[in-house]
Structure 1
Amino acid sequence: MATVFIPIFGQHVSARQSETAKVRKSLHPYCSDDDVKQAVSFLFEYSGSQDTYNTYRRELERLYQWSWLVRNLSVVTITRQDIVDYTLFFKDPPADWFSVKRTRRFLTVGGELRSNSEWRPFVKTDKLVHQSPASLKSMLAVLSTFYEYLLQESIVQRNPVKLIRKHQLIQKQQETIIHRQLNTTQWVALLQAVKLKTLEDDSYERHLFILSCFFLLGLRISELASSTMQSPTMSQFYQDHSRCWWFQTVGKGNKSREVAVPDDCLTALVRYRRFLGLTDLPMFNDHSPLLPKDRGRGSLGIRRVRTLVKDAFSAGVDHLNQQGKDRDALMLKSATAHWLRHTAIAHDVSQNRPLTDIRDDAGHQSINTTNIYLQSSRKERYLSAKKKQLKPQQEGDDGW
């Protein structure tokens, strides 16, 4: 019998959870209303940040699905060994736990909200479905926080995550490396492809502006698109009394920050606003949407912005293939919107911008996070090894 997956938590904490629990209860007897209520109460604590909420919701939902569907357990009865077993399961989930693309959790059918039958706990973003050490570490951190919450509420007697020996479950890395970024060839091809598209279809001006914001400001997608936490407006671009331009945003952890705006970004803003029929630069009271919808009022949401980025990537892939750069095209095809943020920060580092400035613009809590993007020592290490020979040269030796 095929496993039936039903999403538990919505885009934000709401009464929807209790309705979903009733449906789940009829299918899986180990679904506990208390389990759902405890998770909703916990998630509510993080509802001030969409990114954090999404991360915590994702990890809790996966644990709940495994607990109910695989172990037939309530999450409050999970032991240390259960967490170990779940971690092993998490490393390599069964194929039917994956969807091939991101899907909506719920659909409106005939005016009624229903769970999406295509939704799965995991998303297969490429050919590899094994979870990375970073994903494992993040998952365990979220679950540990959740069980600490249950412990403080006197719902459980101990935190089972703290009882496991994490170093035996998570492979250690010599150093943290940001691989998911575009190289110069890919970025230039992407930019050229989208600019060519604007000559055929002026709606691609929006694609171009979105790419410009990602690369020149190093934004997260949640800082550019509309969400339950914020809806970016034109007035978030502003000039201070020193005639310096800034972009005001609310980032990870619900923290407000200012991002320095380069001249090229202002040029991109002017071009985009002319496309929208607006004045060249916004005033302080310009509360029009930064990314207005195609039809109707309001701003583009995260899902729509992600789709536009994928459209741009597709154009870039075609452009690279036409140039015979198949390997670069294949890599760009697997890229996501967040790669652009990594690309932006890595480029800033390569241009020798002060790391503290990059940290502040990127919204990194610690300079150690920014240091991850330093690649100079790796390049030097590679160059020092590049000329190593299988047979060392001896004096008077011409080779083999």
Structure 2
Amino acid sequence: MATNDHQAIGAWLASKSPDSVAGNLSSTQRSYRKEAERLLLWSILERKKALSSLAAEDAAAYQGFLVDPPPAWCGPRHHQRWSPMWRPLEGPLTPVALRQSLIILKSLFAFLMRQRYVMGSPFAAVALPPDPRRPLGSSRTLTFAQWDHIDTLLQDHADTEPGRRLRRGMRWLYATGLRVAEITSVRCEDLKQVAYKTADGTMASGWLLSVTGRGGRSREVPVPAELVEELGDELARHGFERQVGAISNQGVPVMARFDSALERPPGWSASGLYQAIKAFLAQAAARLEGVDAQQLRKASTHWLRHTHGSHALQGREGQTPVSIEVVQNNLGHVSIGTTSMYFTTDERKKAMRGFWGVPRSEAKKAVAPSEGNTGS
């Protein structure tokens, strides 16, 4: 039984992933901790009361605080939580972020009420901002041309261990649609080679990656053979078996840091991968102008996930789009409705045009005689 607010928050976080190791929080738990600790700091420093003593008027005031926080509460994202430069916020929350924050805090107090730590929830009467329900990644997706620009720069990137690791990270994220926390947690033994029948009936082999995603849900995601071969080359370069599935490679992370002095290479952290990709995208943006440059400066690791979903469903010119069921599995979406939000308006209209056929008015224009050619 929790005896103070900090312990109560800890119990709530533990309930979100009962099997997690102490101190090794999942990405979901870290997100929840951020919201809870932000409220805890605000209640103590701004309202001069315990989190468990907050009332409805405090919850309303906190919502206003998130929309317009004092400058002293804001700072750059990259500072670690233990740094004196760290701040709880980067700036005012967007409507989407505010909605998510309030949903999490409502969940926190619902848990505390079930544990009889508090008698009621101060957030019970707080209305959630409307959900815009815009297409996923509608403003956070790279175009095919932008990704090709990035991929070309990756190919010419420095041939060093960190450079090859960065190339591996970005290409795996784009090709698979995995979350950063997922790609940094998988190991060589999570890859397996499988045989399958192609469309023309011939047999071929490919690779599947076993992933444990949110909520402990497992799935298998296809991985291009080229990426697995590159991983094998990197393993061999550092004295490991080239065959990725070799027993001696068990425990080696796919995003291993081979520059470590340790006998077994540690995995690249999610934050380390994030920062490296942000820095590279800023360099890539410097070679572009206008909207393309602006997009790349804003882009992050999660943009690669959105881009995977959008590009797979669109299909490149001359290539067949990936079925929505396969993309749903790749991204680990529980609902296919979530995956369908990657379809843009243009894609929906083109798909239905194929079903409806060409309108009669356009068909008539297509066969109408051109001016000056009225026939005999």
Give TM class, smaller chain.
Answer: 0.7 to 0.9
Separation of aligned partners in 1, 2:156 and 2:347? 36
Q: Label 1:340 to 1:275 Cα distance change in 2 as closer, same or farther (>3 A).
A: farther
Matches within 5 A, 1:251-400: 251-270=213-232, 272-273=234-235, 275-276=237-238, 278-283=240-245, 285=247, 286-287=249-250, 288-293=252-257, 294-297=259-262, 298-318=266-286, 320-321=287-288, 325-351=289-315, 352-377=321-346
Match of 2:7 among 27, 37, 42: 37
User: How big is each residue's C-alpha offset from its partner over 1:64-88, in whole Å with a ceiling of 9 and x where there is no partner?
Assistant: 1111111112111212222121111
Q: Label 1:68 to 1:378 Cα distance change in 2 as closer, same or farther (>3 A).
A: farther
Separation of aligned partners in 2, 1:186 and 1:50? 31
Instruction: Assess if the C-alpha contact under 8 Å between 1:289 and 1:299 holds in 2.
Output: yes
- Partner of 1:290, secondary structure, is coil
Match of 1:193 in 2: 153
Instruction: Assess if the C-alpha contact under 8 Å between 2:144 and 2:311 holds in 1.
Output: no
Higher mean C-alpha deviation, range 174-183 or range 145-154? 174-183
Higher mean C-alpha deviation, range 130-139 or range 366-375? 130-139
Shift of 1:206: 1.3
- Partner of 1:161, secondary structure, is coil
Code of the residue aligned with 2:66 in structure 1: it is F
Shift of 1:290: 1.8
**Is there any run of 5+ residues in structure 1 with no aligned partner, and where?**
1-31, 107-115, 124-128, 226-230, 382-400
Scaled by the length of structure 2, the TM-score of the pair is 0.79
Match of 1:155 in 2: 117
Code of the residue aligned with 1:364 in structure 2: it is H
Scaled by the length of structure 1, the TM-score of the pair is 0.74
Does 2:169 correspond to 1:210?
yes
Instruction: Assess if the C-alpha contact under 8 Å between 2:96 and 2:131 holds in 1.
Output: no
How many pairs does the alignment contain?
323
Match of 1:70 in 2: 46
Q: Label 1:105 to 1:340 Cα distance change in 2 as closer, same or farther (>3 A).
A: same
Match of 1:22 in 2: none
Q: Label 1:188 to 1:84 Cα distance change in 2 as closer, same or farther (>3 A).
A: same
Instruction: Assess if the C-alpha contact under 8 Å between 1:191 and 1:316 holds in 2.
Output: no
- Partner of 2:210, secondary structure, is strand
User: How big is each residue's C-alpha offset from its partner over 1:354-386, in whole Å with a ceiling of 9 and x where there is no partner?
Assistant: 1111111110111111011111347859xxxxx
Code of the residue aligned with 1:295 in structure 2: it is S
Higher mean C-alpha deviation, range 261-270 or range 233-242? 261-270
User: How big is each residue's C-alpha offset from its partner over 1:295-330, in whole Å with a ceiling of 9 and x where there is no partner?
Assistant: 233211112212221232133123x23xxx243123
Instruction: Assess if the C-alpha contact under 8 Å between 1:215 and 1:340 holds in 2.
Output: yes
Q: Label 1:206 to 1:262 Cα distance change in 2 as closer, same or farther (>3 A).
A: same
Separation of aligned partners in 2, 1:275 and 1:340? 28
CA RMSD of aligned residues (A): 2.4
Match of 1:97 in 2: 73
Instruction: Assess if the C-alpha contact under 8 Å between 1:190 and 1:317 holds in 2.
Output: no
Code of the residue aligned with 1:342 in structure 2: it is H
User: How big is each residue's C-alpha offset from its partner over 1:29-53, in whole Å with a ceiling of 9 and x where there is no partner?
Assistant: xxx9711111111112124361110
Match of 1:144 in 2: 106
Separation of aligned partners in 2, 1:346 and 1:273? 32
Identity %: 23
Matches within 5 A, 1:164-183: 164-166=126-128, 170-173=129-132, 175-178=134-137, 179-183=139-143
Shift of 1:274: 5.2
Shift of 1:148: 0.8
Instruction: Assess if the C-alpha contact under 8 Å between 1:247 and 1:260 holds in 2.
Output: yes
Shift of 1:264: 4.3
Code of the residue aligned with 2:327 in structure 1: it is I
Q: Label 1:209 to 1:275 Cα distance change in 2 as closer, same or farther (>3 A).
A: farther
